[in-house]
């Protein structure tokens, strides 16, 4: 098994984030530093450590859905002392988030220790649709909606994929929209609207595919049901 996959299977991080851990020099195999992501691991005989801590395959995977409130981050700790999602979801197991929502965003967030599950849902090539409720300042023209739908060039020069953007209604000086994207670029939706001169003041993820948040108040969580795990594994 490749070491990045092994780290993901151990529930330390998604496979892409496991690559980052390796490249940052935080991983050792049989007490030797690992610098390449393609190194193979014998999961029965080899010893792998991350930040000096031995890791091992879990005997059972955990899957949680959480209604993330605004004002917490998706890391396990924060040097600025801000709340993390693990202040809300503390079950005594090492988990990580499936993708991220930024500090000022809220809504549907999955947590797990199943790296392959996370990889399937977050890898851009799988094009898993994720839908958000968005509020922006002011109104938006049809020409700007058309630009968002076909993909916009972001501030770093990358271009987003096609998106579904559906205005819902105007509420005073705000416009409410529903936006579906298939990627996971950092702060993608906020940057999409910035590219057409609009400021996002509210952002909430409401679904992944057909899986909806439903029934959880802000800050509440629950374990996924078997049929939900099956759906998300096969979306």
pLDDT digits (tens, 9 = 90+) for 189-202: 999 999 999 999 99
- What share of the chain in percent tops pLDDT 90? 69
| Residue 179, pLDDT score | 98
Q: If pLDDT is split at 50, 70 and 90, which confidence band does 37 have?
A: confident
Same-fold call for 63-124+212-234 versus 129-208: yes
Average pLDDT estimate for 198-210: 96
What's the whole-number average pLDDT of the chain?
92
Summarised one tens digit per residue, pLDDT across range 2-36 is 999 899 888 888 888 889 999 999 999 999 999 88
Is 102 a residue of the active site?
A: yes
Domain 63-124+212-234 top-level CATH class = alpha beta
Residue 33: left if φ>0, alpha if ψ -120 to 50, beta else—which one?
A: beta
Question: Cβ atoms within 10 A of the Cβ of 51, count?
Answer: 11
Q: Where are the domains of the chain?
A: 3-55, 63-124+212-234, 129-208
Q: Whole-angstrom Cα distance, residue 158 to residue 132?
A: 21
Active-site entry in 102, 104, 155, 226: 102
Q: What is the CA radius of gyration of the chain?
A: 19
| Residue 137, pLDDT score | 97
Q: Which CATH superfamily is domain 3-55 in?
A: RNA-binding S4 domain (3.10.290.10)
Instruction: Name the fold adopted by 129-208.
Output: Alpha-Beta Plaits (3.30.70)
Q: What is the pTM of this model?
A: 0.80
């Amino acid at each position: 098994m490749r070491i990045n996959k092994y780290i993901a299977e151990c529930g330390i991080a998604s496979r892409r984030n496991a690559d980052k851990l390796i490249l940052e020099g935080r991983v050792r195999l049989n007490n030797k530093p690992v610098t390449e992501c393609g190194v193979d691991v014998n999961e029965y005989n080899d010893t792998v450590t991350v930040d000096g801590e031995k890791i091992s395959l879990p005997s059972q995977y955990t899957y949680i859905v959480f209604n993330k409130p605004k004002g917490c981050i998706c890391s396990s700790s924060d040097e600025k002392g801000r709340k993390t999602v693990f202040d809300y979801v503390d079950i005594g197991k090492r988990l990580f988030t499936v993708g991220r929502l930024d500090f000022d965003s809220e809504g549907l967030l999955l947590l797990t220790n199943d790296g392959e599950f996370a990889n399937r849902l977050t890898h851009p090539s799988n094009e898993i649709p994720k839908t958000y409720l968005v509020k922006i300042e002011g109104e938006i023209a049809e020409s700007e909606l058309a630009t968002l739908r076909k993909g916009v060039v972001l501030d770093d020069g990358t271009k987003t994929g096609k998106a579904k953007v559906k205005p819902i209604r105007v509420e005073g000086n705000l416009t409410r929209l529903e936006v579906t994207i298939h990627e996971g670029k950092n702060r993608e939706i906020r940057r999409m609207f910035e590219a057409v001169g609009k400021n996002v003041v509210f952002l909430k993820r409401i679904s992944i595919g057909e899986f909806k948040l439903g029934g959880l108040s802000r800050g509440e969580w629950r374990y996924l049901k078997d049929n939900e795990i099956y759906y998300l594994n096969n979306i």
